[in-house]
Amino acid sequence: MLPAFGYDYVPGFLAGSLALDRAGEAARALDIGYFADGPLRRGISQGTRATMRDGLTLSSPRRHRRRLVEERTASRVRGFSVHGRRRKAFLVSGTEVLFLPGTFPALEDITVYNGWFPEFSRPLSLLSAVANTATRLPGGRALTGLLTRPLLLGPPGGPDAALRAQIPSYVVAVASSGVPGSAPLAEVHLEGPNPYSLTGELMAWAAEHLSTRPAFAPGVIGPTEAFGPDTLRRACAEVGLRTV
């Protein structure tokens, strides 16, 4: 079983693995940021908007000091360099925190961020705090629904092929020593097809690959464990995910 084998979170595994390989043995922390360019207000599906809305009241796993901990979604905001510009992103869940330590056991901290709407990262952090507090009050669920209703605004369904072509995906992985204020040891940037298109291509590749070749390991595993780093890199290149 390969959980979340798509735009989230295969690019993070690839970018993170490349960054950690470049950083060497000194790497102890990894930050991964997911971004997308273009007209995102019209370019995400109603299902994605609902998932983002519901996720604000759910905790997000994070690896901290070699332990898996849960923190409030959007409780952390971090800046990443994207196309030479600094863009903010907020804490979200990601399967990288579960599986990358198996390949890189020296890792002490792994944090995953979403930067689709960088200008709203700080407001969403505040909204998340309010929503989480409200859910613990009488009638809080109804209040939370009212507070987060704007996130569901937009047309039903998802973006068509023409709109998807205008919104490429972008992922950044930053490996560091984990010491506050220290410079990154390595940074990898990946760019690829639209998140929805990329997810479809990756899932199709995995289905074909698994139907003709045995997986590298049984059970619930990450993409690197399933296919090996070299095969995963070639697969990502085949579907248009490349370093920039």
Tell me the per-residue pLDDT of 36-82, one tens digit each, with 9 for 90 and over: 988 777 788 878 887 877 777 889 999 999 999 999 999 999 999 99
pLDDT at 218: 79
User: What CA–CA distance (Å, rounded) separates 193 from 188?
Assistant: 17
| End-to-end C-alpha distance for the chain, whole angstroms | 30
Percent of the chain with pLDDT strictly greater than 90: 63
Joined tokens for residue 103: 């390949």
Rounded-to-integer distance, Cα 244 and Cα 198, Å:
17
Total H helices, total E strands in the chain: 10, 9
Which one is predicted more confidently, 204 or 154? 204
- Winning range, highest mean pLDDT, from 87-91, 128-132, 222-226: 87-91
Tally the residues of the chain.
244
Mean pLDDT of 6-30: 96
- 87/115 Cα distance (integer angstroms): 7
Within 8 A by CB and 6+ apart from 127, the residues are 56, 74, 147, 148
Six-digit token pair at 173?
Answer: 């992985």
Q: Whole-prediction pTM value?
A: 0.91
How does pLDDT run across 138-192, given as a tens digit for each residue? 776 676 666 666 665 566 778 889 989 999 999 999 999 999 889 999 999 999 9
